[in-house]
A and B are shown apart, each in its own frame.
Chain A
Amino acid sequence: MDNLTFGITILVVGMGGTIITLWVMSLIMRLLTRIFPYKEGEDGN
């Protein structure tokens, strides 16, 4: 594979993949904190 194809692919898929993965993670985390909310008196942050 030539360097141009490699570079553009890794730029687009790498940056896009990282942001989409972390966006999905953020949605899952938001869901988790909604399903298991903090209750008064619990030792949390």
Chain B
Amino acid sequence: MVEAISNGLSGLAAGTLHLHWTNPVMIAIGCGLLYLGIKKDFEPLLLVPIGFGCILVNIPLADVMGEGGFLRTIYDAGVITELFPLLIFIGIGAMTDFSPLLQNPVTFLLGAAGQFGIFLTLGLALLLGFTQLDAVAVGIIGACDGPTAIYVSSQYAPHLLGAVSVAAYSYMSLVPVFQPPIMRFLTTQKEKNIIMSNKGIKPVSKTAKILFPLVMTICGGLIAPMGLPLIGTIMLGNLMRESGAVSRLTKASENEIANVVTLFLGLSVGATMAGDAFLNPKTLLILALGFIAICLDTVCGVLFGKLMCFLSGGKVNPLIGAAGISAFPMSARVVQREGQKYNKRNYLLMHAMGANAGGQIGSVMAAAVMLSVLKGMGII
């Protein structure tokens, strides 16, 4: 009788007794992510499930990521199969209005320059001793786009998925903090004061808006077939939005589907943050490289903006180059706010929105181009 009670009590204490030092540290990190999401409002839709998933996976003996565990089932169903990021992309396409980009297609180029951080960081990661595919996963943080980062890293470096996705989402939410100093540093007072005219910017016809996702899918898919799932899903969502013919599907994509998948995706990412795998110097290095990647995106975007300013004879305010990243529409708002600080009559929002929409497409295209180049080189 006493032995049975003692055995029963030992069962209750087993979880605590099996705690490894990494578990409480990771539980604290999970709580930190919850704090950022709930209290600071940094990407709460993602950071709350990621933080909670991180806590769940670091409670010993629960085995939620073991064979048959509920987080393992969700992870295998949506992350290993790459389904979750793609479903999120349909929602993003359904939510995004690409009109500012269509009104001023040259801003596509700013969206391209804003992706250079991906490739520069990839090179840096190689120099620091990462393997080639690990470097690809680290570089993709520079896409400043959570689903793209998850899509690429889950495919080619699944052991880095936790660190890469936490870096991608955390830094994305910090765009209003780290972009302004870079913008200020790289532009002269004269450049900051440039007023961009809205003259010549015409509305876009419905036909052009419907053809846009179709043309993007076909051309993008032909140039970079390895990225077709990424391009195709975002464009499918946008086609549904612009056609107006399937409003039920559009609403479902931007609400119900996106919400459910975001929850599962966040939990799955959090579930990859088991202490023994996450707490190592490599993770810190990935977080540092991710930060560098996103800063380099802004640097390259602003520098490209300066080039456009020079080529246009001073008609382009280089600040809009900073919006050529995928953090939509946060980055465009940062540009508008910065522009107004130097010239109250300056309304850069419309132009910045074009660059920002270009950044959204640019991040997907950069990932697609990179995957196709890797395939061409025989790396994947």
Contact = CB atoms under 8 A, between A and B. Distances in A.
Interface stretch (B119-127, B169-177, B180-188, B332-340): B119-127
Given A25-B219, A25-B220, A17 B202 contact: no
5 contacts: A13-B369, A14-B373, A22-B358, A29-B105, A33-B103
Contact of B112 (A3, A19, A35, A42): A19
Interface residues of B, number: 53
By CB atoms of chain B within 10 A, which of A7, A23, A43, A45 has the most? Answer: A45
Interface in B178-225: 202-209, 211-212, 215-216, 219-220, 223-224
Interface in A9-45: 9-11, 13-15, 17-19, 21-30, 32-33, 35-39, 42-45
Interface stretch (B21-29, B41-49, B283-291, B360-368): B360-368
A29 B213 CA distance: 10
A9 B119 CA distance: 10
Given A6-B379, A10-B119, A25 B361 contact: yes
Given A29-B105, A32-B212, A33-B205, A18 B97 contact: no
B112 A37 contact: no
Given A18-B115, A26-B109, A9 B377 contact: yes
B359 to A, nearest CB: 10
Q: Which of B99, B119, B120, B223 has the most CB of A within 10 A?
A: B119
A9 B361 CA distance: 23
**B-side binding surface: helix, strand, loop or mixed?**
helix
Interface in B68-98: 97
Contacts of B358: 22
Contacts of B202: 33, 37-38
Interface residues of A, number: 35
Nearest to B131: A3
A45 B103 contact: yes
A38 B105 CA distance: 15
Contacts of A1: 132, 377-379
A15 B373 CA distance: 11
Contact of B119 (A11, A26, A28): A11
A37 B205 contact: yes
B204 A21 contact: no
A26 B106 contact: yes
Nearest to B125: A7
Interface string B19-58: 0000000000000000000000000000000000000000
Contact of A24 (B219, B361, B378): B219
